[in-house]
């Protein structure tokens, strides 16, 4: 079945002789669909179309844009189960997780529609500036940035597409979307919701293909006003080198720390980490990866965590009972298996898990991991956590900051002073007290510092990031 994966001028296009890419289930290997691979000429057409679409959309009043987005949200709600099946089938997360992700689609679009109607500017108190009187009036006016390129990864193929596309459209921009080639079917289904809701031609385009060619062409094109990228730090860094002068938002990788203090509720910590380290087979930028535990409670905590991790069911993502499905490819599963074997060969202790069955890896805990080992320092993106011992709470904070990344962090403690110290001292974009970093509300500002990225997402923040605030000064003769 050919799924039309090239959207130009509001029409799905299948050029004669186009290369097709088979999208396969990482669990069964079954072909789920074939998408048209775009050529560089298609990127050029998509951007030309977006330039025209941006002019149409910026002249569309916010209430009309909002009405179309609300209709797209309604349609997404009605297609939620279909969307969940597509997510689970093409990227291997369990259907229960996929249903959770799909159920947020309509809500993200609705939140965006709301925020797009709430862009209040400010009046400027110019007369407070020495030398300026009452002859001038100043204020700011919101304008769309123009053409937004949205490039997304495979791991949350609905959520991360919508966190870019919906706020961009709400703010009046045209968008060219390039989803991950390993999971494009969800993006195509979402785009269809906007088309069915009546989005004018050219306002949203979609190209499929390898990031190395298409992504590079999109990012470096002068017609693009903003690049919104979510993916690995290596690609994010490359984008900073080739983008030229345009707005950039980069949501990148991480190796997130979680501190378990001697003042923690160990049951709560173990429960939360048994989710945060393993959801989506650990393929989450905010996965709990580096578990830093105070020595005094380490044995008790690890015993509790082991029990919970061993209860995680791994298997066919489409089975209702499955908690954790596959990794995205067998090569990724082998990489994770080897990383676990490597750290154990270097002296760490395999508490549980780590065995591989094709694209699945049994949820693992590895203790006695040195804080500087690559197993802790490099983003794992797999279903395993490392346990590192801290001699006391101060040491735990130092270990938490011992990382090139700074996306999310979690701290388990019921000591108020320890919470306050963590909030003040941990270098991360988001800090959770008494939960792991693997938690996100779609309206909250979300994003990393250091090698984890530039800027924040979250619907209100993104609408603002995708808006230019023009300053207007009126000079009068009175």
Q: What residue ranges bind ligand NAD (CB under 6 A)?
A: 151-155, 160, 178-181, 211-212, 215-216, 219, 230-232, 235, 238-239, 251-254, 285, 379, 381, 407, 448, 453
Residue 234 CB, nearest distance to ligand NAD (Å)?
Answer: 7
By the 10 Å C-beta count (0-12 exposed, 13-18 middle, 19+ buried), 121 is classed as middle
229, 218 in Cβ contact below 8 A? no
Catalytic residue (choose from 251, 332, 418, 465): 251
State which residue, 235 or 343, has the beta carbon closest to ligand NAD: 235
Mind giving me the DSSP string for 322-388?
Answer: -SB---SSHHHHHHHHHHHHHHHHTT-EEEE---EETTEE--EEEES--TTSHHHHS---SSEEEEE
In angstroms, rounded to a whole number, what is the distance separating the alpha carbons of residues 257 and 406? 9
Residue carrying structure tokens 């309604």: 74
Cα 102 to chain centroid, rounded: 14
Residue 209 CB, nearest distance to ligand NAD (Å)?
Answer: 8
Using CB atoms, what's the residue nearest to ligand NAD? 211
State which residue, 379 or 442, has the beta carbon closest to ligand NAD: 379
429, 448 in Cβ contact below 8 A? yes
Residue 287 CB, nearest distance to ligand NAD (Å)?
Answer: 8
Rg, C-alpha atoms of the chain: 24
In angstroms, rounded to a whole number, what is the distance separating the alpha carbons of residues 394 and 411? 12
Residue 162 CB, nearest distance to ligand NAD (Å)?
Answer: 13
Handedness of CA 327, 330, 335, 341 (dihedral sign): positive
Comparing CA positions, the residue from 143, 147, 175 lying closest to residue 162 is: 175
State which residue, 151 or 336, has the beta carbon closest to ligand NAD: 151
State which residue, 91 or 365, has the beta carbon closest to ligand NAD: 91
Residue 111 CB, nearest distance to ligand NAD (Å)?
Answer: 17
Residue 251 CB, nearest distance to ligand NAD (Å)?
Answer: 3
Backbone angles phi, psi at 338, to 5 degrees: -70, -35
State which residue, 211 or 383, has the beta carbon closest to ligand NAD: 211
3-state helix, strand, coil in the chain (%, to 5): 40, 25, 35
State which residue, 280 or 419, has the beta carbon closest to ligand NAD: 280
Catalytic residue (choose from 71, 285, 418, 465): 285
User: Catalytic site residue 251?
Assistant: yes
User: Catalytic site residue 285?
Assistant: yes
> Active-site positions?
251, 285
């Amino acid at each position: 079945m050919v799924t039309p994966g090239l959207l130009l001028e509001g029409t799905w296009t299948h050029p004669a002789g186009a290369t097709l890419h088979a999208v396969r289930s990482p669990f069964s290997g079954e072909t789920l669909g074939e998408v048209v691979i775009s050529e560089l000429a298609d990127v050029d057409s998509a951007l030309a179309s977006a330039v025209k679409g941006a002019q149409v959309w910026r002249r569309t009043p916010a209430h009309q844009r909002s009405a179309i987005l609300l209709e797209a949200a309604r349609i997404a709600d009605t297609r939620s189960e279909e969307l969940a099946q597509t997510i689970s089938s093409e990227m291997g997360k369990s259907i229960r997780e996929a249903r959770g992700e799909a159920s947020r689609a309509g809500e993200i679009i609705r939140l965006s529609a709301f925020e797009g109607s709430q862009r209040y500017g400010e009046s400027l108190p110019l007369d407070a500036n020495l030398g300026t009187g009452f002859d001038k009036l100043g204020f700011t006016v919101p304008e769309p940035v123009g053409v937004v390129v949205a490039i997304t990864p495979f791991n949350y193929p609905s959520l991360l597409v919508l966190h870019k596309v919906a706020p961009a459209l709400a703010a009046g921009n045209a968008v060219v979307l390039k989803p991950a080639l390993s999971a494009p079917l969800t993006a195509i289904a979402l785009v269809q919701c906007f088309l069915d809701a009546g989005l004018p031609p050219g306002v949203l385009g979609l190209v499929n293909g390898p990031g190395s060619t298409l992504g590079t062409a999109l990012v470096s094109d002068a017609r693009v006003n903003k690049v919104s990228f979510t993916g690995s730090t290596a690609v994010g860094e490359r984008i900073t080198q080739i983008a030229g002068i345009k707005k950039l938002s980069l949501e990148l990788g991480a190796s997130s720390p979680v501190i378990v203090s001697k003042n923690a509720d160990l049951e709560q910590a173990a429960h939360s980490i048994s989710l945060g380290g393993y959801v989506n087979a650990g393929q989450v930028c905010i996965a709990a990866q580096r578990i830093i535990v105070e020595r005094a409670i380490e044995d008790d905590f690890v015993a509790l965590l082991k029990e919970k991790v061993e209860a995680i069911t791994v298997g066919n993502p489409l089975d209702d009972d499955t908690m954790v499905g596959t990794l995205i490819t067998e090569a990724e599963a082998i990489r994770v298996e080897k990383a676990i074997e490597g750290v154990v060969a270097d002296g760490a202790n395999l508490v549980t898990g780590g065995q591989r069955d094709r694209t699945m890896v049994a949820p693992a805990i590895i203790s006695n991991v040195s804080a500087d080992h690559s197993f802790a320092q490099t983003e794992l993106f797999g279903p395993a956590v490392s346990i590192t011992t801290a001699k006391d709470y101060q040491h735990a904070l130092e270990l938490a900051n011992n990382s090139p990344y700074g996306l999310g962090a979690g701290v388990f403690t019921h000591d108020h002073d320890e919470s306050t110290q963590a909030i003040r001292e941990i270098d991360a974009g988001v800090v959770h007290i008494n939960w792991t970093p693997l938690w996100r509300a779609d309206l909250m500002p979300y994003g990393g510092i250091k090698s984890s990225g530039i800027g924040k997402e979250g619907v209100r923040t993104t609408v603002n990031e995708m808006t230019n605030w023009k300053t207007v000064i009126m000079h009068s003769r009175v």
